[in-house]
Chain A
Amino acid sequence: MGKLVVIDGGLFTTVQDAGRFGFRKYGVPVSGVMDNSAFELVNSLVGNSPETPVLEMTLKGGKYRFESDSVIALTGANMNPTVNGISVELNSSLDIKSGDILDFEYARRGCRCYLGVRGIWEIEKILGSYSTYNEGDFGGIEGRTLQKGDQLHWKEIQADFQSYTSSREEIPYYSSKLTVEFIPGPEWNWLSKKEQDKFLSTEFKISSESNRMGIRLNSDFQIEGKKREMVSSGVIPGIIQLPPNGSPIILMKDGQTVGGYPRIGKVLDIHLNRLAQVQPNGTIRFKKSD
């Protein structure tokens, strides 16, 4: 049996998987990893099946003690990971010995780091998923972020395993200046041509109030025309909502299931992965997808 003990949970660390599907009609958000490409890579590096959960660490990763020999990998943000004080590589299978201490600092580049552990994790599924939905207090470990003293257990996989390191081309460069492409949403044409042009030429700053529910953006962008009301209607991660104050919110994985703000666009999923890696105070621009 594999085991890990949390010495320090870091800033905001949760158990996540691909997400919780089929319950959005009851208001249950999809949850799951914010950066799907880093998630897929980390499970591949440890030879796990793609539905295995991982730890998603945000901005500052925490500290963990392994109580069994284990195979792990780290992908996503670079939080200067060390094992027993010695730097280790991201994007590579790593052998860990029982008693080893895995430690992280503040993210140097990127925002979210993923820890994959080879094995079959022993966590209760809630509504078909291991993902933590922090706002609703369910999923993962008691529906919350990891805390000192928490333990993770997993069944070891006996099959042969070939360690490997990702090729350079597979590893994205996480820039703090990002351009994301979007599909125009149902209410895109509520904006005048002038407002649309302004939206496309504005550089937005990511607010520190951003979280797993939504990325909040600040700028001098304003809606000039008459503000129209709409009734609540379905939304999904990636939807760009435009509240009357003109500060867009990009809904993320723990975002609500219905909303009443105009949906001016939907950020492409491949760009949502990159967006999840931009730290607060980073900037983004929008480009209309063809």
Chain B
Amino acid sequence: MESGSLHLNGISWSVFRLGETAWLLQPKVSENVLEHIHSASDLLERSKIDGLQDIIPAYDSITLIYDSQFKYDPGKISEISPSREPHLSREKNIFEINVCYELGMDWNEVEVKTGLSKEEVISIHSTQNYTLAMMGFMPGFIFLEGLDDRIAVSRKEKPRIKVPSGSVGIGGNQTGIYSLESPGGWQIIGRTTESFFDVKKTLPTKLKAGDRIRFKPISKEEFDKVVAKNG
């Protein structure tokens, strides 16, 4: 239930209690919601607030999780951004990601549901710029915002038990990438050779919420060549 509000990065946020040591912030704005979430998450990360263990940015919220030894203090959060104006101008990384659309597994269903040919869908999917909205529910799963309505396709009736790592899919009006092999119900339209998630590294991924993504189509030959080169 709503338990108050606070000021962060130039705007007001509703606060909901999520647990003994976890709070949910929702921006009280009607435009640029994702930009406000990503900018505020960045600011929170950089401010290194005592006891703040985890920050989970999502589509319309930021979840703050504290170590149980520490107390959440809305005043401390408001203090980190005394400015009255929101800052949304953080530098955005742009990544171009290769996709071999020939490795899509659900083209029949996608063609039927969109009423478009495979070539038309590829053309629309690969000319759009996307924003990395959030990562989650699984390690490294990447949710992208900015899918053209014409190629929105409902999820599969029966989820796959194993979706290969690197799969690019469409789920409703979102597109996304399965960084690791996992179960999943999205329509798979291609696969990338890029690896976005490595638990052996201190920083497991180079991507973060707010980054911009573009897809570049590659042939099956190019895909195989890159895979062979990467060993």
Task: Point out the residue from B19, B136, B139, B140 that lies within 8 Å of A266, measured CB to CB.
Answer: B19
B53 touches A21 (CB 8 A): yes
Please report the C-alpha to C-alpha distance between residue A239 and residue B67 in the assembled complex, in whole angstroms: 17
User: Mask for A165-206, Cβ within 8 A of B = 1, else 0?
Assistant: 000000000000000000111101100000000000000000
Please report the C-alpha to C-alpha distance between residue A189 and residue B57 in the assembled complex, in whole angstroms: 23
Give chain A residues whose Cβ lies under 8 Å from the Cβ of B63.
233-236
Please report the C-alpha to C-alpha distance between residue A126 and residue B136 in the assembled complex, in whole angstroms: 18
B19 touches A233 (CB 8 A): no
Please report the C-alpha to C-alpha distance between residue A186 and residue B205 in the assembled complex, in whole angstroms: 30
Task: Point out the residue from B55, B61, B67, B199 that lies within 8 Å of A25, measured CB to CB.
Answer: B55
B137 touches A258 (CB 8 A): yes
Please report the C-alpha to C-alpha distance between residue A282 and residue B62 in the assembled complex, in whole angstroms: 35
Question: Shortest Cβ distance from A289 into chain B, in angstroms?
Answer: 9
Please report the C-alpha to C-alpha distance between residue A111 and residue B148 in the assembled complex, in whole angstroms: 49
B136 touches A232 (CB 8 A): yes
> What's the interface size class on A, roughly?
35 or more
Please report the C-alpha to C-alpha distance between residue A258 and residue B209 in the assembled complex, in whole angstroms: 14
User: Mask for B125-138, Cβ within 8 A of A = 1, else 0?
Assistant: 00000000011111
| Contact flag A25-B57 (CB < 8 Å), given A183-B20, A259-B137, A266-B18 | yes
Question: Shortest Cβ distance from A66 into chain B, in angstroms?
Answer: 31
B22 touches A236 (CB 8 A): yes
Can you give 18 contacting A-B residue pairs, CB < 8 Å? A21-B53, A21-B54, A23-B139, A23-B204, A24-B56, A25-B135, A26-B136, A26-B204, A27-B138, A28-B199, A138-B199, A183-B19, A184-B1, A232-B134, A239-B19, A256-B136, A258-B134, A263-B18
Give chain A residues whose Cβ lies under 8 Å from the Cβ of B139.
23, 26-29, 133, 136
Q: How many residues from B make CB contacts under 8 Å with A?
A: 42
B20 touches A24 (CB 8 A): no
Query: Closest A-chain residue to B134, C-beta based?
Result: A258
Query: Closest B-chain residue to A24, C-beta based?
Result: B54
| Contact flag A236-B135 (CB < 8 Å), given A25-B55, A138-B199, A188-B1 | no
Give chain B residues whose Cβ lies under 8 Å from the Cβ of A277.
none
B61 touches A233 (CB 8 A): yes
Give chain B residues whose Cβ lies under 8 Å from the Cβ of A256.
136-138
A27 touches B1 (CB 8 A): no
Q: Indicate whether A127 reaches chain B with its CB closer than 8 angstroms.
A: yes
Within 197-228 of B, Cβ neighbours of A (below 8 Å) are at 197, 199-200, 204-205, 208-209
Task: Apart from A25-B41, A25-B57, list 11 A-B contacts with CB within 8 A.
Answer: A21-B54, A24-B54, A24-B55, A26-B204, A27-B135, A30-B54, A136-B180, A184-B1, A185-B1, A233-B63, A259-B137
Query: Closest A-chain residue to B142, C-beta based?
Result: A27
Leading 8 A-B pairs by shortest Cβ distance: A234-B63, A256-B137, A27-B136, A258-B136, A234-B56, A186-B16, A257-B136, A266-B19
Within 130-174 of A, Cβ neighbours of B (below 8 Å) are at 133, 135-136, 138-139
Give chain A residues whose Cβ lies under 8 Å from the Cβ of B41.
25
Query: Closest B-chain residue to A143, C-beta based?
Result: B199
Give chain B residues whose Cβ lies under 8 Å from the Cβ of A186.
1-2, 16-18, 24
Q: Indicate whether B60 reaches chain A with its CB closer than 8 angstroms.
A: yes
A232 touches B209 (CB 8 A): no
A27 touches B200 (CB 8 A): no
Please report the C-alpha to C-alpha distance between residue A238 and residue B68 in the assembled complex, in whole angstroms: 14
Q: Indicate whether B152 reaches chain A with its CB closer than 8 angstroms.
A: no
Give chain A residues whose Cβ lies under 8 Å from the Cβ of B2.
186
B53 touches A234 (CB 8 A): no
Q: Indicate whether A88 reaches chain B with its CB closer than 8 angstroms.
A: no
Q: Indicate whether B59 reaches chain A with its CB closer than 8 angstroms.
A: yes
Please report the C-alpha to C-alpha distance between residue A127 and residue B200 in the assembled complex, in whole angstroms: 7
Give chain B residues whose Cβ lies under 8 Å from the Cβ of A22.
53-54
Q: Indicate whether A268 reaches chain B with its CB closer than 8 angstroms.
A: yes
Give chain A residues whose Cβ lies under 8 Å from the Cβ of B197.
26
Question: Shortest Cβ distance from B132 into chain A, in angstroms?
Answer: 11
Task: Point out the residue from A23, A233, A266 that lies within 8 Å of B60, measured CB to CB.
Answer: A233
Please report the C-alpha to C-alpha distance between residue A198 and residue B122 in the assembled complex, in whole angstroms: 50
Q: Indicate whether B6 reaches chain A with its CB closer than 8 angstroms.
A: no
Q: Indicate whether B147 reaches chain A with its CB closer than 8 angstroms.
A: no
Give chain A residues whose Cβ lies under 8 Å from the Cβ of B22.
234, 236, 266
Please report the C-alpha to C-alpha distance between residue A134 and residue B57 in the assembled complex, in whole angstroms: 24
Within 55-86 of B, Cβ neighbours of A (below 8 Å) are at 55-63, 65, 67-68
Please report the C-alpha to C-alpha distance between residue A186 and residue B3 in the assembled complex, in whole angstroms: 10
